[in-house]
Amino acid sequence: MSSVVAAFQGPLPASRAPKSHVLPETPPVTIRVDASLVLIPVHVTTATGESVTDLPKEGFRLFEDDVEQKITYFAKDDAPSSIGVLLDTSGSMKNKMRRSSEAAATFFRTANQQDEFFLIEFNDRPKLTVPFTNDPEDLIRRVTHARPFGRTSLLDAVHLASVQMKKARNIRRAIVIVSDGGDNCSRLTARQVKTEVLESDMQTYAIGIFDDDATPKRTREERNGPGLLEALSEETGGRHYRVDDLDQLASVAASISKDLRNEYLLGYTSANPERDGKYRRVKVNVDSTAGPKLRTYYRRGYYTPAQ
């Protein structure tokens, strides 16, 4: 839920021009979202994974704890996003680091001109290496010089991202994790971090880069890596892309960027006025009677503020 009145100002969204980072001089647009509004990003695809971008507001039905809600805010334009990239630079990424950096660079290059990004690198501990910026070249320079060493503090990195995301200017918010998922030295638990992610209103996307299941001497953390990334992604409406071939990394990064560009944003004021700090489960149905069965990816719930 939006905990304060959220607003952003900036020119109308435009596609990024190659090597151009100067914002065009166009009249600013202001979008304000009331504090009581619950925002649910929804990505709709066909069975084969193609984005569906032409659905009307009336094509959606939204429920909170099985009670239908009135959708009062609906957007499907390519609005600016605030995105954090979490790059695993631990020792287990040694043979994957170059391709992982290239994937991150691809993601930055396919972004919108009005997007803002931050970069967190994590090994023994997470570090905010580039704070929010709308210049992708700052981020690209950094990721191309990343060097792997140490253990993996993935959960602590997600926590740091949720803290940084409080400074975001845009309504659409997401993090992209590039990792093998093998956390082995975080101070926080998976349950603590999952709760934080749900409270922060940010979608979680993950690019999971895993060794073959038959690889000898895989640690317990490495074996649990896919499940951890899946769990972090599923509840927030993001997706986990498992990568078994490093040559796929750049195209997967581009696919995530495309997913973020082709989302609907549904907003509603809950019919339940209680502010008890409890978790509310959300369900979104899409009318596909006129065509093939559609798949939906969306935030599955949220925590209400406690009074």
Neighbours of 257 (CB within 10 A): 22
For the stretch 186-206, pLDDT in tens is: 999 988 998 888 888 889 999
Mean pLDDT of 29-49: 72
Mean pLDDT of 88-98: 90
Instruction: Look up residue 229 and give its two tokens.
Output: 């990334």
Over the chain, what is the mean pLDDT? 82
| pLDDT of 290 over the 70 cut | no
| pLDDT of 210 over the 90 cut | no
- What strands lie across the sheet with 73-75, from one edge to the other? 73-75, 264-269, 37-45, 295-298
Q: Which residues does residue 69 pair with via DSSP β-bridges, in sequence order? A: 62
pLDDT the model gives residue 155: 95
Of the listed ranges 2-16, 206-220, 252-266, 282-296, the least confidently predicted one is 2-16
Using CA atoms, how far apart are residues 140 and 158, in angstroms rounded to an integer? Answer: 20
Q: Contact at 8 Å (CB) between 243 and 209?
A: yes
pTM greater than 0.85: no
Instruction: Look up residue 291 and give its two tokens.
Output: 């065509």
Using CA atoms, how far apart are residues 287 and 305, in angstroms rounded to an integer? Answer: 31
| pLDDT of 164 over the 80 cut | yes
For the stretch 112-137, pLDDT in tens is: 888 999 999 999 999 999 999 999 89
CA nearest neighbour of 164 among 154, 175, 172: 175
Using CA atoms, how far apart are residues 25 and 60, in angstroms rounded to an integer? Answer: 36
| 82 phi, psi to nearest 5 deg | -110, 120
Cα of 184 vs its chain's centroid, Å: 23
For the stretch 211-261, pLDDT in tens is: 665 455 556 666 677 888 888 888 888 999 988 888 888 888 888 888 888
Of the listed ranges 55-59, 78-82, 114-118, 276-280, the least confidently predicted one is 78-82
| pLDDT of 1 over the 80 cut | no
